[in-house]
Chains A and B, each alone.
Chain A
Amino acid sequence: MRKVFVIILLILVGYFLTNTFSLITFGENRIGNTSEEKNVAAYYLNNTKEKTSVANVVTAIVVNYRGFDTLGEVTVLFLATTGLGSILFRRKEDEDQIERISKPSSSLVQTGSRILFPLIALLGIYVFIHGHLTPGGGFQGGAIIATGFLLMLISYKNFKAGHTMLIWVESLAGITFVTIGLWGLLTSGSFLENTLPGGELNNLISGGIIPIIYIAVGFKVAAELTGVLDILLNIKPKK
């Protein structure tokens, strides 16, 4: 009964979605001519190069034009970790009983992971350092680093992600982000304003505060994701 009802509903939802998106032609140029700057995208494409000296427009948007979104997004992650911590909160006295659910891995996996982990971390760092130049950025880099940690976490049963370290990284990265924003507010009167000189396009050191923020975001994301994974993996065994 319920299933039939749901299927009918889903058919209708599908119908409406199709209907709606049939009006939005795939691959159509909705930006228009960039020189007219009628809409936001066109403006971004047209002005990013000159005004921010960032090669990757998406990065420019994420970190600068819509940097506030990103700040919020980082906050969401931070809050998710905090929330997770509070939802799966363990008292001190319960700490000892905590076990990682994963089975102990074979030594092959363990050794492999140990070799792979620095490489993965390096890749991640590369991705977020070059976030303003190439595809990728803080989130992607952070996610890659977290994958490395995940690898370590599931292959070593007693691998500790280092809570203090995570807190430090997390907080400092966050503080950096906000402080840079506030610095902009202080010096130029606008929160997150790009106060540093833009530099030359396609150089590693270019784009003013954008790479700095992205690096901070990268660290933060890495720390948060690792934290989340760490919490979710550590579970008190049931009796």
Chain B
Amino acid sequence: MVISPVHYIAVPLLAAFLIPLLSKFIHKELARIVPGIVFLYSIFISITLMLQIGDKGIISEVIAGWQAPWGINLVFSPFSGFLASLMSIIGFLIWLYSYNFKKIDKEQSQKYHILQMMMVTGAIGIVLTGDIFNLFVFMEITAITAYSLTSFYRERDGAEAGFKYLLIGSFASVLILLAIMILYTQLGTLNMAEIAQKSHLIPTSLKTTIIVLFLVGFGIEAEMFPLNGWAPDAYSQSPGPIGAAFAGIVVKAGVYALVRVIFTLFDIHGAYDFLIYGGLITMIIAETSALAQTNLKRMLAYSSIGQMGFVLMAFGIGTHQAIVGALFLMFNHAIIKSLLFMSGSYLTYNSLTKQISALSGLGKKLPLVSILFGIGAFAIVGLPPFSGFWSKLYVLSAAADKNMLLLIMTILAVSIVEIIYYFRVVSTLYYGKQNPEIEIQKPSINAMVSMIALGITILVVGVYPDVITNLLENAATALTDKATYIQSVLTQNLPIN
């Protein structure tokens, strides 16, 4: 069988349907193992395809044998491929981290793994699909799994967070649906490439309405202020690895959708400014809110929102370098925030309460986890030689190319706030008084492996960013090169065989 993008979707689906049977009738452990195999396979696909597009450019795969405008197609461009690969890798690491998760409750553990796998699959689907309605469907897959996973813990206020998420998420789906509806009446097509080709035919007043609906709808998923009320709750109440998955995968999909709408579907310059200002406000509000948090995960959540604001803003700058920077930011945020959530949830798990103050002195008891958290914290605030620095530099110098001095200063002012609260945690961790009553539960080996892998990635990319910049350059080119996208989707008639 030839490797093609559809494997990203089909294999996990097959696995998801198989898992209940396998675990019931063959071996219970399979429910936990199979998702890992699936993720490994996804990574394998990613590598294969990324190598392939090295020569070919863009892979556009049709589904059910219908050419692009008529059927649904998957587009594996350097851009979407980059994100899909990132998601697969993060997904795998999250699976590895949570392999022992809820070991006792077999049934819960099975559900958890199915949901987690499908969440990643949904996000990959969003990224890969070339059809706007299909994107909506994948977004719903992600959303439904996200709601369930948010409220996974009964002991916490998960249900509350989940309900808020669902409430806002439903609005998102309604708005996106409305937008798709209006778009369809105007163009009679759902294929994104064709929409992009024809978007100038839409009457302006409708066009702006569609854009507003899309922006607000996807803005909810991308955690844009003031649409992000759900986010801190969802991050803080979901299980640790799911927080990582939200930050590393789900939001990325939302941002992808937003960016795709703005960059590819329509050609409206106002939208760039919208991204800049929306991102900036999001960043300011989120980072300042994070400052006063006492709950570690909630703090991480606000930080995550702030970072997404930064990403949106970077996309809003719109130059090639800014997009490279934005993608770099997305990459960094994915790995760093995953690491922070992973290590952070081990720390909070061992701290009786989730409060930051309760972490004091854990650095000595959980040395490796704390160091990893520290690396994450240093990296996310953009200290060299960790990877976060480079993305910040790229974005800032892109902003500087456009002479946006105020923007740069605002970003950096906000970064100072970020530094304050992250360093507060780190210093509590290492230099606070120890609580002798705490009995430490050491992280399992698999969790350690996945965290260390992330930590090493942060360091390697930080010291030698060239390992990733080439990919990013290609991805950025693919995103901005609308003509190639349209051409390769609409004219490639033959399925890859």
Return the contact of B18 from the options A72, A80, A82, A175 (Cβ within 8 A): A175
Interface residue A108 (Cβ < 8 Å from any Cβ of B): no
Range of interface residues on chain A?
35 or more
A189 touches B71 (CB 8 A): no
B115 touches A189 (CB 8 A): no
Of residues 166 through 198 on chain A, the ones whose CB sits less than 8 Å from some CB of chain B are 167-168, 170-172, 174-175, 178-179, 181-182, 184-186, 188-194
Closest chain B residue to A90, Cβ basis:
B107
Interface residue B13 (Cβ < 8 Å from any Cβ of A): yes
A67 touches B115 (CB 8 A): no
A89 touches B495 (CB 8 A): no
A72 touches B63 (CB 8 A): no
Interface residue B464 (Cβ < 8 Å from any Cβ of A): no
Q: How far is the CB of A171 from the nearest CB of chain B, in Å?
A: 5
B10, B14, B61 — most chain A CB neighbours (10 Å): B10
Q: How far is the CB of A175 from the nearest CB of chain B, in Å?
A: 5
Against A, the Cβ 8 Å flags (1 = close, 0 = not) of B157-195 are: 001001000000000000000000010011111110000
In the assembled complex, the Cα of A188 lies from the Cα of B6 at a distance in Å of: 14
Closest chain B residue to A42, Cβ basis:
B188
In the assembled complex, the Cα of A19 lies from the Cα of B208 at a distance in Å of: 13
A168 touches B21 (CB 8 A): yes
Interface of A is mostly: helix
Q: A167-B21, A182-B10 are in contact. Are A72 and B115 (CB under 8 A)?
A: no
Of residues 59 through 87 on chain A, the ones whose CB sits less than 8 Å from some CB of chain B are 64-69, 71-73, 75-76, 78-80, 82-87
Q: How far is the CB of A28 from the nearest CB of chain B, in Å?
A: 9
B72 touches A69 (CB 8 A): yes
Interface residue A1 (Cβ < 8 Å from any Cβ of B): no
B17 touches A175 (CB 8 A): yes
Return the contact of B17 from the options A19, A78, A80 (Cβ within 8 A): A78
B63, B115, B129, B138 — most chain A CB neighbours (10 Å): B63
Q: A44-B70, A79-B144, A178-B10 are in contact. Are A87 and B21 (CB under 8 A)?
A: no
Q: Which residues of B contact A73 (CB under 8 A)?
A: 137
Q: A67-B64, A192-B63 are in contact. Are A178 and B14 (CB under 8 A)?
A: yes
Q: A87-B151, A175-B14 are in contact. Are A82 and B111 (CB under 8 A)?
A: yes
A192 touches B64 (CB 8 A): yes
Return the contact of A78 from the options B1, B16, B151 (Cβ within 8 A): B16
Q: A73-B137, A89-B107, A174-B13 are in contact. Are A189 and B112 (CB under 8 A)?
A: no
Closest chain A residue to B159, Cβ basis:
A87
Closest chain B residue to A25, Cβ basis:
B185
Q: A69-B72, A82-B115, A167-B21 are in contact. Are A179 and B13 (CB under 8 A)?
A: no
Interface residue B376 (Cβ < 8 Å from any Cβ of A): no
Chain A to chain B contacts (Cβ below 8 Å), 8 pairs: A30-B188, A40-B69, A65-B71, A69-B133, A79-B118, A80-B144, A82-B148, A178-B10
B interface residues (Cβ-Cβ under 8 A, vs A): 1-2, 4, 6, 9-10, 13-14, 16-18, 20-21, 24, 61-66, 69-72, 105, 107-108, 111-112, 114-115, 118, 125, 129, 131, 133-134, 137-138, 140-141, 144-145, 147-149, 151-152, 154, 159, 162, 182, 185-191, 203, 205-206, 209, 495-497
Q: Nearest 3 pairs between A and B by C-beta? A: A83-B148, A39-B188, A174-B17
- With A24-B185, A72-B125 known, 13 other A-B pairs at CB within 8 A are A20-B209, A30-B188, A64-B64, A65-B71, A69-B137, A71-B9, A73-B137, A86-B111, A86-B149, A89-B111, A172-B21, A191-B6, A194-B64
